[in-house]
Amino acid sequence: MDVENRISTYLEKRVISNQLRRLMIVNDLVDFSSNDYLGFSRSAYLKQQVDIELNSFYKFKKSGATGSRLLDGNSYLADELEQLLAKMHHAEAALLFNSGYDANVGLLSTVIRSGDLVFYDELIHASLHQGIKLSCSNSFCYKHNNYDELNDFLQQADKNKVKFIVSESVFSMEGDKADLKKLVHLSKQYNAHLIIDEAHSNGIFGDRGSGMCNEFEVEQDCFARIYTFGKAIGSHGAVVVGSQMLIEYLINFSKNFIYTTALDSHTLLSVKHAYLYLQNNINQSVKLRKAIFYFNLCIDTLKDKYEVCGEGPIYGIIVPGNENCKKIALYLSNKGYNVRPILSPTVSKGKERLRIVLHSYNTEIEINQLISLIVDY
């Protein structure tokens, strides 16, 4: 079989199973889908702050990075931002990556080595899976948030092996949270290194949005933490925080860092001003918490008809079957609401769902109308 026929066969299988993905542009729909939890990507104030500094700050002689950080792409702005991020997330040091995917793959594939033991939650992000795979380690998957099973794995593990525990703090499809206190307890009990992906908690949990590890008071118990900027921060990129030695190691050995063009000045400034806003303002966070509180008051109406998961701002309305899930999502779109269907194989077969995401700008009227449409469908 030649490569064109092979590609065609794979695509046809996706069509038959209702799993084919297509790009789409959504305009003028009420947003219950994006990860822009605090509305930063649409903030006129943040845009103005970025534009002012970008246009007037003498340090910027070019808008693009023009090279990797180790060649021509380093800048005063990147160094300044890493210092701000380390301070915000209460770590010794921080290192920027071009995306959350890059950060997760770059960290895990570099720090974890062949022969090490990795224990990970079954629902971690695909980028964490990829990093573990590239590490060539011996990996063990425990059922979602099942710490008894994790304990059993750790108890049976070779005491002489280097061990890692990998989890998210807020899970992107279930919308629930890891018990970070329990994970820290197990990591200490079995001498394992804890790595936490804070992608969906950054900006909305903890003191001034510094994350779930801060809220659980376990920041200093983690070997490494990853914070992305494509969700509540409203921009792009990510940062790994940890010890100074860890960051120096990544600078020297992480291919995802070494061999990629650095983030451009506009992105660095967007992240900087989003974090400065978080340090000095809580109004968007308060609005988001109010939306979550209101949705939770109304959630019993949904639970009468559907299985519902999530604690906010992410919720899953289980609609088994790819075709059924896509139909109700299209129905909601036609009614003016952007709610995306999450299909298998992204989630397990039979656990297909509508993924509802709340934002600081969602109103009680919009929430009521959305719930009514889903219940009446």
Same domain membership, residue 356 and residue 241: no
For range 301-313, the mean pLDDT: 94
Name the domain boundary from 262, 280, 298.
Answer: 280
Mean pLDDT estimate for the chain: 95
Same domain membership, residue 286 and residue 272: no
* Overall number of domains in the chain: 2
On whether residue 37 sits in a domain, the answer given is no
- Sequence length of the chain is 377
Same domain membership, residue 222 and residue 332: no
- Sign of the torsion formed by the C-alpha atoms of 31, 34, 35 and 40: negative
Residues 42-87: tens digit of each pLDDT = 999 999 999 998 887 655 567 788 899 999 999 999 999 999 999 9
Same domain membership, residue 275 and residue 286: no
- pLDDT above 70: residue 374: yes
Same domain membership, residue 137 and residue 84: yes
For range 159-167, the mean pLDDT: 97
CATH number at 311 reads 3.90.1150.10
Same domain membership, residue 132 and residue 21: no
For range 84-112, the mean pLDDT: 98
Helix (H) or strand (E) holding 37: none
Share of the chain above pLDDT 90, in %: 91
Burial (CB < 10 A; 0-12, 13-18, 19+), residue 231, is buried
Same domain membership, residue 85 and residue 24: no
Which pair of structure tokens corresponds to residue 142?
A: 């425990």
The pLDDT confidence band at residue 34, using thresholds 50, 70 and 90, is very high
Beta pairing partners, 308: 317
On whether residue 36 sits in a domain, the answer given is no
The pLDDT confidence band at residue 27, using thresholds 50, 70 and 90, is confident
Same domain membership, residue 276 and residue 303: no
On whether residue 149 sits in a domain, the answer given is yes
Share of the chain above pLDDT 70, in %: 98
The pLDDT confidence band at residue 343, using thresholds 50, 70 and 90, is very high
Instruction: For residues 89 and 202, give the distance between their C-alpha atoms in angstroms, rounded to a whole number.
Output: 9
CA distances from 143 to 118, 122, 123, 146, 167 (A): 14, 6, 8, 5, 11
CATH number at 52 reads 3.40.640.10
For range 30-45, the mean pLDDT: 97
On whether residue 40 sits in a domain, the answer given is no
Q: How confident is the model at residue 60, as a pLDDT?
A: 56
Q: How confident is the model at residue 63, as a pLDDT?
A: 76
Instruction: Give the range of the structural domain holding residue 97, as residue numbers without chain letter.
Output: 46-280
Helix (H, G, I), strand (E, B) or coil at 102: helix
Same domain membership, residue 265 and residue 145: yes
Which pair of structure tokens corresponds to residue 210?
A: 């510094």
The pLDDT confidence band at residue 26, using thresholds 50, 70 and 90, is confident
On whether residue 50 sits in a domain, the answer given is yes
The pLDDT confidence band at residue 261, using thresholds 50, 70 and 90, is very high
Cis peptide leading into residue 320 (ω within 30°): no
Helix (H, G, I), strand (E, B) or coil at 275: helix
Same domain membership, residue 71 and residue 11: no
Q: Exposure string (b/e) for 151-161, b if CB count within 10 Å is 16 or more? A: bebbeebeeee
- Sign of the torsion formed by the C-alpha atoms of 155, 158, 159 and 161: negative
Instruction: For residues 371 and 291, give the distance between their C-alpha atoms in angstroms, rounded to a whole number.
Output: 13
On whether residue 320 sits in a domain, the answer given is yes
For range 278-291, the mean pLDDT: 95
For range 114-121, the mean pLDDT: 98
Residues 196-236: tens digit of each pLDDT = 999 999 999 999 999 999 999 999 999 999 999 999 999 99
The pLDDT confidence band at residue 318, using thresholds 50, 70 and 90, is very high
Helix (H, G, I), strand (E, B) or coil at 355: strand
For range 287-296, the mean pLDDT: 97
Same domain membership, residue 311 and residue 257: no
For range 259-277, the mean pLDDT: 96
Name the domain boundary from 253, 280, 307.
Answer: 280
Which pair of structure tokens corresponds to residue 285?
A: 């966070």
Which pair of structure tokens corresponds to residue 177?
A: 């949270």
For range 245-264, the mean pLDDT: 97
Same domain membership, residue 271 and residue 145: yes
Contact assessment for residue 328 and residue 252, using Cβ atoms and an 8 Å cutoff:
no
For range 286-305, the mean pLDDT: 95
